[in-house]
Chain A
Amino acid sequence: MTQTASPAIELRGISKAFGTVQANKDITITVPKGTIHGIIGENGAGKSTLMSILYGFYRADSGQILIGGRETAIPDSQSAIRAGIGMVFQHFKLVPNFTVLENVILGAEDGALLRPSLSKARKELARLSKEYGLDVNPDAVVEDLSVGHQQRVEILKALYRQAEILILDEPTGVLTPAEADHLFRILRGLREQGKTVILITHKLREIMAITDNVSVMRRGEIVGTVKTAETSPPQLAELMVGRKVLLRVEKTPARPREVVLEAKGLRLTRGGVELLKGVDLTIRRGEILGLAGVAGNGQSELLKVLGGIARAEGTITMNGRPFTDPREAGIAHVPEDRQHLGVIMDFTAWENMAFGYHRHFAKGALMDNKTLRDETAEAMKRFDVRPLLPDLVIKNFSGGNQQKIVVAREIERNPDLLLIGQPTRGVDIGAIEFIHKQIVALRDQGKAILLVSVELDEIMSLSDRIAVMCGGRIVGERDPATTNEKELGLLMAGVNDEAA
């Protein structure tokens, strides 16, 4: 009975450095048993490092970990599992072509032969499913499951290993709003059963919705731990960034003018799968068209087709004319997958600044590197890129600063239309505010913007018009002023009451 008195997990003065970078500095957190504890912070604040220490991927340079009141060493993942820690990673650690059952027993088998382990796990899963509302077919192959169900498999894996402390890293990034609600119900159920949940996120709304307490991290340190009921999003945001942050995007009503881009009947099939099933789209000068949808419903493909990266059937015109080179036609593109399509990670900032616009910086067959570097330095200053070093290799910038460089490159050439995918993925709050302002400013100059994002908040606060994609089609269009998250969520999930 002393168990109930001691906290589920207690960190005392955890520090960890990588070379000269202090990733975690004197972290002290106490998480009472049977609570949901949020850890919030910007990218690079040290959340992942802290979790890696808890799960035995790294060893802390100093400090203690107490589990259930007892000091516990966690030199590897096996020890973490033994100590009752279960981890649900942002990118699931599942074997895609294994069944749910096989994934659950992997590493927790009872003997050298599989059959007894499988039948035991089958019984145990049935019990866990019932107890926590975690409905999953044990014989389903994981890659056939929806992302929400795959996440449940991860939770079941942890529970099967008798985890008492469940750590979830950015668990809602890939979920629809309805799936996220279901996850929260599961987490509350776990709390009722006396389990302890640690939720790592950068989304203030989630922290407010589900946690009991929240610790805020900034630059490797805990800058505050508060009761959720006694705080507010603006206060948390300020703690995270270290200054006041505008959470809402400030903008005037749109004044749409003539049509810039018109696409008709876009179809795209890859590997026998129809990714775009006849998409029609018009975008006007002076408006931001938001494209909402759960990842994998054709938004990425549409963006690639318009940006000239993929070829589809159908017609696309810019300012009334068909075109072959999107950039010459005045289309700029900030791709969704920044690290693969937006930049070359091993090139410097100024080299990256030239991509797509090499001709602009050319003197005959030679590159005019001096002009390129000077312009890069200026653009970096204007876009508040830190550190202000054009010669730094791009992978050494933070995600937010990389994105600022890409956005700067695309906006600098004065396009008629900006395609921008996941503008704030992996970008810290401070930089989000800046990038959003740039997008709105571009609109106010009379440019057209197509925004694709899986963050519904972002779509709702930035867009002047919202189109929802589901299953390769645009299934509906809404006015952000009159719609709400629930309605969009239903559309995203393919439920359209208008069609009925």
Chain B
Amino acid sequence: MDYATLLQLLDSTVRLATPLLLACLAGLFSERAGVFDIGLEGKMLIAAMTSGAVAAISGSVWIGLAAGIGASLVWALMHGIASITFRGNQLISGVALNFLASGITVLVAQAAFGQGGRTPPLSGDARFGAITLPFAEALREVPVIGPLYFEVISGHPLLVYVAALAVPVTWWVLFRTRFGLRLRAVGENPAAVDTAGISVVRLRFAAVLIAGVLCGIAGAYMATALQAGFGREMTAGRGYIALAALIFAKWKPWAALYATLLFGFFQALALRPDVVTRVTTLDIPVPALEALPYVLTVLVLAGFVGRAIPPRAGGEPYVKER
């Protein structure tokens, strides 16, 4: 495989890893606070449809993004009310919200645009364009590093950089701030937080809503940056892949970046069967390649990556004991 092809592959890895990373960090906030979130998928999907539709109508990608985040927040709020306020089962709430998103996106898109459940194709200001980072052009001729910077690092939509920046920010918030300390504590032992005089409910809601914002950005990225519009089931299980990556990353922000890049790389491979065939000299069928990220997901979830210890209070509604 030549260098240029490798760079192309890495370039699409970055693009494909971005929604996974955002969703993975969303899950990280939620689960670190002790609320399992199987509904990442649904939140991304509703955000993708809403942002695609609003961007198409308003012609502004920013309004689309805001609408996408808003829609995802509504889903997050429903999850919070069901599983925190009413102490319902977090998995059931998440699955229900996924079904709801799956149905309602197609329904609304079809009713509004009548294009078979799709939103109209976006162009111009209704879509995030590529950003060329400083010196990308100038450094392009520098051997090895120049093309790497130009092809892989530079030239992505803004939200890719937002996602990349979200990693150190997440780390900093979790491990260097009071909010982060309390958030991690509430996912490990909510009783400790409660007896310290801090509201468990408020902390968990904050975490769930942060997850909503991040999933909203992920969904909007899908519809307004990665693609030019919403298509039915366009998230294609990315929410679940993000969950697998979260386990793979053992609920740590930097590890989440590496895990999602790995999953993104597999997704990128599936887009380039010609490269795979050339490198391996095997004629691997395309569907097999497309299944790779999902196979990896199953392997991760089946525990082939060693022991991953989830936050101890994960999945359990907090009931005050006397």
Chain A interface residues (CB < 8 Å from chain B): 48-49, 52, 55-58, 76-81, 87, 89, 91, 93-98, 102-103, 105-109, 111-115, 117
Contact = CB atoms under 8 A, between A and B. Distances in A.
B176 A107 contact: no
B196 interface: yes
Contact of A106 (B182, B312, B320): B182
A81 B188 contact: no
Contact of B178 (A52, A55, A77, A113): A113
29 contacts: A48-B322, A52-B322, A57-B320, A77-B197, A78-B197, A87-B195, A93-B189, A93-B192, A94-B189, A94-B192, A95-B185, A96-B188, A97-B188, A98-B184, A106-B185, A106-B192, A106-B196, A107-B193, A107-B197, A107-B198, A108-B196, A109-B181, A111-B178, A112-B177, A112-B178, A113-B177, A114-B177, A114-B178, A115-B176
A107 B322 contact: no
B161 interface: no
A494 to B, nearest CB: 29
Given A93-B194, A106-B193, 14 more contacts: A76-B197, A77-B197, A95-B192, A97-B312, A105-B181, A106-B198, A107-B197, A109-B178, A111-B178, A112-B179, A113-B177, A113-B178, A114-B177, A114-B181
B191 interface: yes
Contacts of A111: 178
Contact of B185 (A91, A98, A117): A98
Contacts of B197: 56, 76-81, 107
Given A58-B322, A76-B197, A78-B197, A93 B191 contact: yes
Contacts of B182: 106-107
8 smallest CB-CB distances across A and B, nearest first, come from A107-B196, A78-B197, A77-B197, A93-B192, A109-B178, A93-B195, A95-B185, A95-B188
B188 A114 contact: no
Nearest to A97: B188
> Which of B176, B180, B189, B312 is most buried by chain A, counting CB atoms within 10 A of its CB?
B189
Nearest to A53: B322
Q: Is chain A's binding surface mostly helix, strand, loop or mixed?
A: loop
Nearest to B197: A78
Contacts of B312: 96-97
Q: How many residues of B sit at the interface, in one of the four size bands?
A: 20 to 34
Nearest to B189: A95
Contacts of A49: 322
Contacts of A94: 189, 192
B136 to A, nearest CB: 35
B51 to A, nearest CB: 32
B181 A96 contact: no
B188 A77 contact: no
Contacts of A109: 178, 181
Interface string B298-322: 0000000000000010000000101
Interface in B58-105: none
Nearest to B192: A93
A449 to B, nearest CB: 34
A112 to B, nearest CB: 5
Contacts of A57: 320, 322
Nearest to A58: B322
Contacts of B184: 95, 98
Contacts of A58: 322
A79 B195 CA distance: 11
Interface in B165-180: 175-180
Contact of A103 (B175, B192, B198, B322): B192
Contacts of B175: 114
A115 B192 CA distance: 21
B135 to A, nearest CB: 34
A382 to B, nearest CB: 33
A58 B321 CA distance: 10
> Which of A81, A98, A107, A114 is most buried by chain B, counting CB atoms within 10 A of its CB?
A107
Nearest to A79: B197
Contacts of B198: 106-107
Contact of A113 (B176, B191, B192, B195): B176
A115 B179 CA distance: 13
B308 to A, nearest CB: 14
Contacts of A87: 195
